[in-house]
Amino acid sequence: MGLFGINHDKNERVLSFAFGGYKFKADDKYISYQSAYGRSFKVLKSDIETVSLDSGGAGKNKIKLNSKGTLLAEVELPKGWAEKVQDFILGEIKK
């Protein structure tokens, strides 16, 4: 399950899985991702038009952040986590 937290000092929201091994952050300007395995991205929230889920490997989905026909970022996660991340990001870009 995901762990959601708020860092009031930075006005930052965090969604993490696997004891922080997969961490998504949102602040007033950016959505970012960092994994314990060295994968990461940082995208301007204002650039994100859609957040889609595509089939990935066995039991996984790919989260894709898109803007005007351009893929901004992509992450593959277990389906349940991917759905929570999609909701988290959609909630952030609608603010």
Indicate which CATH number applies to the domain containing 22: 2.30.29
What pLDDT, in 10s, does the model give residues 2-14? 555 555 556 899 9
Tokens of 81: 């986590």
What pLDDT, in 10s, does the model give residues 70-90? 999 999 999 999 999 999 999
Domain extent at residue 80:
3-93
Q: Provide, rounded to the nearest whole percent, the portion of the chain with pLDDT above 70.
A: 89
The pTM of this model reads: 0.85
Domain count, the chain: 1
Query: What is d(CA 60, CA 56) in angstroms, rounded to the nearest whole number?
Result: 5
Query: What is d(CA 30, CA 44) in angstroms, rounded to the nearest whole number?
Result: 5
Q: What pLDDT score does 24 carry?
A: 97
Helix (H, G, I), strand (E, B) or coil at 88: helix
Q: What pLDDT score does 1 carry?
A: 46
